C-alpha cells in the first residue's frame, strides 16, 4: 500500500511513523514544503523569551533522523499545488529547482496545517514586524531583539500565542502592549468575567491590554516605529502579528474536496468526501465531543491524536475519532490558565439548562511553602448534573485540574461521580479534599439550594445593586460594608433585617457561605454569597471611598508605587531614570503625569530617580500607561537588582570613564535582564567616574569606580628638586626617593591627576580601568565596601564580575541579609576568589531556575 502524506509537522509525521510501526511493508512518503519537519511550534514564544535556548531544541526530528528512525521517505522543499482525486495523483513543485513532480497514492493524507494570518495593511512589510508560526520566525525575532535594542513591543492579538509571546517579550525587558479587536482577550475560549480577571492580572504585571481595538496601519520608514489603531497610536520597536491562523488548503479549491471556511470536512475516521483521501491536524474540521457538531480545533495535541488514530484506520483497525473539547492551557506572567469543554455561552446556545459556580480553593496544603490558589469555574447542566466545561486560573499546576475535567466530560460524568474520587494527596501536591472536588461540592450545594450565590458575571452586570454588603472576612476589609464576625453569630445580628437583601462577601467565599448557613438558621431569607468574593471580584460599597488592602499595597509597591502612610489611598510613583539622566521630553512627560495623575509635585530621591507625589490608587494604572507611552517605567523596589545610579563621568572635569554609558549598559543587562530574579535583599549598584566617589560606589552593594593607572618612564625622570608629580598628587603618595619619582601602587587611588604634569614627560602614559567595591551599604547599618585586589582593564571582564556578584548573592545569601552580611559571613577572600573564577557563571542557569528567596528582605 502506497500512502502519501502532504505535510510534515504534527499530524503528518505522527501518522507516518505509526503507519510504519503498524505495517513495515507499507510504502509511506511525506512531502513537505518546509526544510524542517516535526518542529515544536508551541515552543516558539519560549525561544523568543530565552527559556528554550537553541534552535536545535525546537526541532524534534530532522528529515534524516526521522527517516532513519521510522523508515518513512521524507522529501522536503515540495509544495503541492494540485490534487487529481480520480487519477490518484498529487502535482508538486520542487522548490529547489522549480520543476514539477507527480506523486501517485493508494491513500492520501492531507496534513498541511495552517499559517499565520498577516493582514494586508500599510507597514506590514517593515523591519521589526513578525509573525510566529515557524522556527525561523522565532529565530528572526530573537535575533532582531538582540541586534536592534528594541524597548517597546506591540502584540496584535490576545489569543494563546499572542499572550505567551507578550509574556516572553516582557521577560526580555520590553514594555509590552497587547491589542485585540475582540471585546475580550482569548475570545470564545474564556467566559467574559474570566477574561476580565486575566486582563486585570496582565495589567497588574506590567503588560498593557486593550480590547475592542482595531489596528489600522503600522508606521515607520524602514523599521516599524508605531502601531496606529482605533484607540490611538502606540509606539513600537517590534510588532508581533498574532491575529489567528488559516488552513493551508488554497491549493485544494478545485479538487472537489468539501470544505468549510477553508477547513477540510472529515468523518469519524477522518475521511473526506473523496475516495481514499483523509485529512488531519490544523487543516481538518472535526467535531465537538459534547455536541457532535463541527468544530475546528487547531491544537498540537489534537493533531497528534488524529495522526495516530488515522494511521490505525489505514492499517485496517476499527477506530473512530470522538472529537475535541477545545482543551488548552496557557502560561501568563505569574498565572496559568486552562480550560476545556463548553463555555457558559456555548452551553446555553446549545440549549442546556446551565448552572455554573466559581470556586477559589487552595492548590495544596495552605501551610506548605509555595501554596497558592486555584480559581475554578465549572459549567454543568442543571437537570442532568452533567459536567459540560471548566475554566481555571492559578500560579501552579492548572493542567491537572483541566485534565480531571477532560476525563470526566469525555466519560459523560455527572457531578456526583466526582464526590468520592480517590485523588492523590500529600501537602506538597494537593489538599486532603482535592480542589476540583471542592469546586464540585460548591456547585452541588448551589444546585440543591444549600448555597444561594451570585456569580461574578452577575455581579459585574449589576445584580448586587439592591443588596447590602456584609463583610464576613477574618477582619474588616471592605470599606462601608457591615462587618460580621462569623464566630460570634449565635442568633440574629443587630442591624441586619431578616428580610433584607444581604450580599455576603469574604476573602474567597468560604466564610461567606458559613455565615449564610448560620443566618438561614436564624431566619434570614435573602442572603446571597458572592462567588470568588474579593479574591476574584472588585467589591465596592456605593458611595464609600475605598481604602487599599495590605495585599494591594504590597503589590503596587512592586510596581514602584510607595504608599503615603498619611493617606488611605495615595502613593508616590518612582519613575526610573536609569542613571539620573533623562531627556527634556521625558521630563515633560513626568511633569505632565504629575499634574494629570498626582498632586503636581515631583521629588528627587537619593538614588537619582524621580517620584511623582500623591497618586490616588485608581490612577496607578493610567499613570503607568501614560509614562510607558513616553518610554518611561516605574519600579525599582523589592529584593532585586535596583536601578543603577552614576555620577556625571566624563562630563565632569575629573571623570575618567563614561559613567552614563556604562551605567546604561549595567541597567539593561542587570536591572532589566535580572528583573524577575529574586534576591535575598535589594542589590544597589553605583558607577563613579573617579575616586572622588560622588555617588558613593563604596557605600553600595557593588560599586564601580573609574581608574587611571599612571606609568612612570624612569628614563625621563630627572629627579627635579620640585617635582610637579609630587606637587599635584591630591593624596600625597607620590614621593622622590633617591632622586627618582616613586608612586606606591598599593596606596595610589588611580585618580589620574598626575598624568601629564611632568614637563619632561616622565608620566604621560597610563592605563584606564575599573575598580570594583563590594559589600557597601548605607542606612540603619553602615558598611564601607572593600575593593577587589584586581583593577580591571577590560570592560567585559568588569561586567562579568558584576554578574558573578549578583549570582553569588542569590546562591549563597540568606533571605533577608544584605550583600555585606553575605560577604562577612563567607569571608572577603572566599568571595573574591569566587568572583575571579568562572564557576558562578557556569552554574548560572541552575541558580536562576532554583526557587530561592520567595519572600526576600527588602522593605522599600
Supply the residues annotated as catalytic. Answer: 42
Query: Could you tell me if 468 and 500 are in contact, meaning their C-beta atoms sit under 8 angstroms apart?
Result: yes
Q: Residue 124 CA to chain centroid, in angstroms?
A: 25
Owner of C-alpha cell 467574559: 192
Q: Is 181 exposed, middle or buried (0-12, 13-18, 19+ CB in 10 A)?
A: middle
Q: Residue 203 CA to chain centroid, in angstroms?
A: 11
Long-range contacts of 718-724 (CB under 8 A, 24+ apart): 718/760, 718/762, 720/760, 723/758, 724/757, 724/758, 724/759
Calculate the alpha carbon distances from 130 to 123, 208, 266, 845 in Å.
12, 19, 33, 28
Helix 398-410 with 435-447: angle, nearest 10 deg: 50
Handedness of CA 245, 248, 251, 257 (dihedral sign): negative
Grid cell at residue 320: 473512530
Q: Residue 8 CA to chain centroid, in angstroms?
A: 30
The contacts of residue 383 (CB under 8 Å, 6+ apart) are 353
Alpha-carbon span 237 to 146, nearest angstrom: 12
Grid cell at residue 793: 582593564
N- to C-terminal Cα separation, the chain:
72
Element of type H or E holding 328: strand 328-332
Please give the DSSP secondary-structure letter assigned to residue 613.
E
The contacts of residue 429 (CB under 8 Å, 6+ apart) are 364
Name residue 529's beta-bridge partners: 453, 504
Query: Could you tell me if 569 and 645 are in contact, meaning their C-beta atoms sit under 8 angstroms apart?
Result: no
Query: Could you tell me if 239 and 245 are in contact, meaning their C-beta atoms sit under 8 angstroms apart?
Result: no
Provide the 3-class DSSP secondary structure of residue 197: helix
DSSP string, 9-22: SSHHHHHHHHHHHH
Please give the DSSP secondary-structure letter assigned to residue 565.
T
Alpha-carbon span 784 to 777, nearest angstrom: 7
Q: What is the largest CA-CA distance in the chain?
A: 108
The contacts of residue 744 (CB under 8 Å, 6+ apart) are 733, 735
Amino acid at each position: 500500500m502506497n500512502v502519501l502524506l502532504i505535510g510534515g509537522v504534527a499530524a503528518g509525521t505522527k501518522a507516518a511513523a505509526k503507519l510504519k510501526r503498524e505495517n513495515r511493508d507499507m510504502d509511506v512518503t511525506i512531502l513537505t514544503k518546509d526544510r524542517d519537519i516535526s518542529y515544536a511550534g508551541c515552543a516558539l514564544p519560549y525561544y523568543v523569551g530565552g527559556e528554550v535556548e537553541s534552535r536545535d531544541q525546537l526541532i524534534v526530528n530532522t528529515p534524516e533522523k526521522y527517516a532513519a528512525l521510522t523508515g518513512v521517505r521524507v522529501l522536503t522543499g515540495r509544495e503541492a499545488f494540485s490534487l487529481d482525486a480520480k487519477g490518484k495523483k498529487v502535482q508538486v513543485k520542487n522548490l529547489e529547482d522549480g520543476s514539477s513532480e507527480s506523486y501517485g497514492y493508494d491513500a492520501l493524507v492531507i496534513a498541511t496545517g495552517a499559517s499565520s494570518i498577516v493582514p494586508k495593511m500599510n507597514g506590514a512589510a517593515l523591519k521589526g514586524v513578525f509573525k510566529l508560526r515557524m522556527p525561523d520566525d522565532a529565530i528572526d525575532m530573537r535575533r532582531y531583539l538582540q541586534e536592534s535594542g528594541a524597548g517597546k513591543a506591540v502584540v496584535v492579538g490576545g489569543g494563546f500565542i499572542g499572550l505567551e509571546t507578550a509574556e516572553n517579550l516582557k521577560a526580555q525587558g520590553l514594555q509590552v502592549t497587547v491589542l485585540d479587536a475582540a471585546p475580550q482577550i482569548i475570545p470564545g475560549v474564556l467566559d467574559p468575567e474570566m477574561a476580565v480577571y486575566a486582563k486585570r492580572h496582565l495589567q497588574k504585571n506590567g503588560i498593557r491590554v486593550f480590547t475592542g481595538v482595531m489596528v489600522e496601519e503600522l508606521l515607520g520608514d524602514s523599521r516599524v516605529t508605531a502601531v496606529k489603531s482605533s484607540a490611538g497610536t502606540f509606539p513600537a520597536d517590534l510588532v508581533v502579528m498574532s491575529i489567528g491562523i488559516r488552513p493551508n488548503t488554497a491549493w485544494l479549491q478545485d479538487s472537489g474536496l468539501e470544505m468549510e471556511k477553508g477547513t477540510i470536512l472529515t468523518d469519524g475516521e477522518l475521511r473526506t468526501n473523496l475516495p481514499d483521501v483523509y485529512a488531519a491536524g490544523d487543516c481538518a474540521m472535526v467535531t465537538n465531543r459534547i455536541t457532535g457538531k463541527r468544530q475546528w480545533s487547531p491544537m498540537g495535541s489534537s493533531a497528534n491524536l488524529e495522526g495516530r488514530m488515522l494511521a490505525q484506520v489505514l492499517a485496517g483497525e476499527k477506530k473512530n475519532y470522538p472529537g475535541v473539547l477545545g482543551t488548552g492551557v496557557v502560561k501568563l506572567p505569574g498565572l496559568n490558565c486552562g480550560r476545556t469543554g463548553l463555555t457558559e455561552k456555548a452551553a446555553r446556545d446549545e440549549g442546556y439548562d446551565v448552572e455554573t459556580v466559581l470556586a477559589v480553593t487552595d492548590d495544596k496544603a495552605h501551610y506548605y511553602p509555595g501554596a497558592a490558589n486555584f480559581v475554578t469555574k465549572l459549567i454543568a447542566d442543571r437537570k442532568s448534573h452533567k459536567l459540560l466545561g471548566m475554566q481555571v486560573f492559578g500560579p501552579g499546576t492548572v493542567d491537572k485540574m483541566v485534565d480531571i475535567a477532560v476525563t470526566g466530560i469525555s466519560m459523560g460524568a455527572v457531578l456526583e461521580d466526582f464526590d468520592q474520587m480517590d485523588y492523590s494527596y500529600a501537602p506538597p501536591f494537593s489538599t486532603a479534599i482535592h480542589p476540583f472536588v471542592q469546586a464540585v461540592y460548591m456547585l452541588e450545594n448551589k444546585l440543591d439550594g444549600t448555597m444561594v450565590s451570585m456569580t461574578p458575571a452577575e455581579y459585574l452586570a449589576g445584580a448586587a445593586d439592591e443588596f447590602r454588603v456584609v463583610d464576613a472576612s477574618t477582619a474588616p476589609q471592605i470599606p462601608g460594608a457591615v462587618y460580621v464576625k462569623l464566630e460570634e453569630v449565635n442568633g440574629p445580628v443587630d442591624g441586619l433585617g431578616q428580610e433584607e437583601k444581604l450580599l455576603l462577601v469574604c476573602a474567597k467565599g468560604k466564610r461567606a457561605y458559613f455565615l449564610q448557613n448560620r443566618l438561614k438558621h436564624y431566619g434570614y431569607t435573602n442572603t446571597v454569597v458572592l462567588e470568588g468574593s474579593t479574591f476574584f471580584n472588585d467589591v465596592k460599597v456605593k458611595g464609600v471611598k475605598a481604602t487599599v488592602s495590605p495585599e494591594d499595597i504590597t503589590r503596587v509597591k512592586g510596581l514602584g508605587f510607595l504608599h503615603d502612610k498619611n493617606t488611605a489611598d495615595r502613593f508616590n510613583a518612582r519613575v526610573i531614570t536609569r542613571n539620573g539622566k533623562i531627556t527634556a521630553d521625558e521630563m515633560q512627560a513626568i511633569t505632565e503625569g504629575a499634574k494629570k495623575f498626582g498632586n503636581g509635585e515631583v521629588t528627587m530621591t537619593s538614588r537619582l530617580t524621580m517620584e511623582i507625589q500623591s497618586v490616588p490608587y485608581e490612577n496607578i494604572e493610567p499613570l503607568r500607561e501614560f509614562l510607558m507611552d513616553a518610554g518611561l517605567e516605574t519600579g525599582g523596589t523589592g529584593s532585586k537588582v535596583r536601578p543603577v545610579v552614576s555620577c556625571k563621568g566624563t562630563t565632569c572635569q575629573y571623570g575618567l570613564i563614561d559613567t552614563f554609558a556604562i551605567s546604561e549598559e549595567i541597567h539593561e543587562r542587570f536591572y532589566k535582564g535580572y528583573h524577575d530574579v529574586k534576591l535575598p535583599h535589594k542589590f544597589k549598584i553605583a558607577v563613579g567616574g573617579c575616586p572622588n566617589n560622588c555617588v558613593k560606589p563604596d557605600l553600595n552593594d557593588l560599586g564601580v569606580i573609574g581608574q587611571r593607572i599612571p606609568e612612570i618612564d624612569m628614563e625621563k625622570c630627572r629627579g627635579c628638586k620640585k617635582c610637579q608629580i609630587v606637587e599635584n598628587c591630591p593624596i600625597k603618595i607620590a614621593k622622590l626617593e633617591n632622586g627618582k619619582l616613586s608612586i606606591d601602587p598599593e596606596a595610589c587611588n588611580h585618580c589620574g591627576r598626575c598624568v601629564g604634569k611632568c614637563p619632561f614627560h616622565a608620566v604621560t602614559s597610563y592605563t584606564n580601568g575599573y575598580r570594583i567595591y563590594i559589600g557597601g551599604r548605607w542606612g540603619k547599618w553602615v558598611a564601607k565596601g572593600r575593593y577587589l585586589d584586581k583593577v580591571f582593564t577590560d570592560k567585559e571582564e568588569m561586567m562579568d564580575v558584576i554578574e558573578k556578584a549578583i549570582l553569588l548573592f542569590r546562591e549563597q545569601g540568606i533571605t533577608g541579609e544584605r550583600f555585606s552580611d553575605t560577604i562577612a559571613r563567607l569571608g572577603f577572600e572566599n568571595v573574591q576568589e569566587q568572583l575571579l573564577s568562572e564557576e558562578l557563571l557556569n552554574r548560572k542557569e541552575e541558580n536562576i531556575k532554583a526557587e530561592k528567596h520567595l519572600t526576600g528582605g527588602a522593605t522599600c
